[in-house]
Amino acid sequence: MNWRSVTVRVKKRGSGNLIRIEKINQGKFIEAPTGKFFSLNDKPVLRVRIFGIVSSVYINEDRTYGSLTIDDGSDTIRLKLWKGKLQDKDGIVRNDLDMIDNITKGMIIDVLGKVKEWENEIYINPEGIFKQDDISWEIHRRSKLFEQDFDEMGMMDSSETDGEYKGNKDSKLEIVFNSLVDNQEENTPALISQRTGIDETELKDLIIKLQTEGRVLNPRPGFYLKV
């Protein structure tokens, strides 16, 4: 499998709601005493999880702004990124635009991000972008969306789907995934190795696999979080 994934900072731990782009575009922003927030069916949504085919890519010449347009078959939406000057504790300066350097038109990508609005355009500010070229992953993701559709129409008991890909619960991959805790400071390779009994060399390959599946983020070198 050929892949490359890049993730940058994650300001708060939290997974995104798997959703069709069409529904995001039907959402609205609501003013509240604490600020403006995105709402679907009058419920606040912090993050969304979408996937689809990249239909356009743009980065300006001075690398201060970039965007992708993604199409999931229900609608399209833009991802917008700006040059960042955040510096991690390890001294590495990160730029959000690094996430789209190797993204090209026609690729299938998995995106975790926050819904924003500017001049009446709803867009997504991504926190993680993952390239996907595994057809089984795409089939699984689409099946989850279909399950949601059936559930909304009252044709499926909500207990029949949990919205997460569990895989083989007895595999080392699942052991590593389930060992991750909410505090990234406790998710270093050394601590994960202690909790799981898996040596760090093998652990590295397992974590890379979890990243390609879009299930783990790497907010900064040597630290990991569940998505």
Which residues of the chain form CATH 1.10.10.10? 166-227
The pLDDT confidence band at residue 226, using thresholds 50, 70 and 90, is confident
**Helix, strand, coil percent content, the chain, rounded in steps of 5:** 30, 35, 35
- Is the distance from CB of 85 to CB of 9 less than 8 angstroms? no
Share of the chain above pLDDT 90, in %: 20
Q: What is residue 34's three-state secondary structure?
A: coil
CATH 1.10.10.10 applies to domain 166-227? yes
pLDDT tens digits, residue range 34-80? 778 888 887 888 888 898 999 999 999 988 899 999 999 889 999 99
Q: What is the pLDDT of residue 32?
A: 77
At 118-174, the pLDDT tens digits run 998 999 999 888 888 776 666 667 777 777 666 665 544 444 334 444 444 448 888
Residue with tokens 């499926």: 156
Positions of CATH 2.40.50.140 in the chain: 1-133
Kindly indicate whether the domain formed by 1-133 is annotated with CATH number 3.40.50.150.
Answer: no
Confidence of residue 5 (pLDDT cuts 50, 70, 90): very low
From the number of C-beta atoms within 10 Å of its C-beta (0-12, 13-18, 19+), residue 17 rates as: middle
Residue 34 has, within 13 A of its CA and on its CB side, a CA count of 3
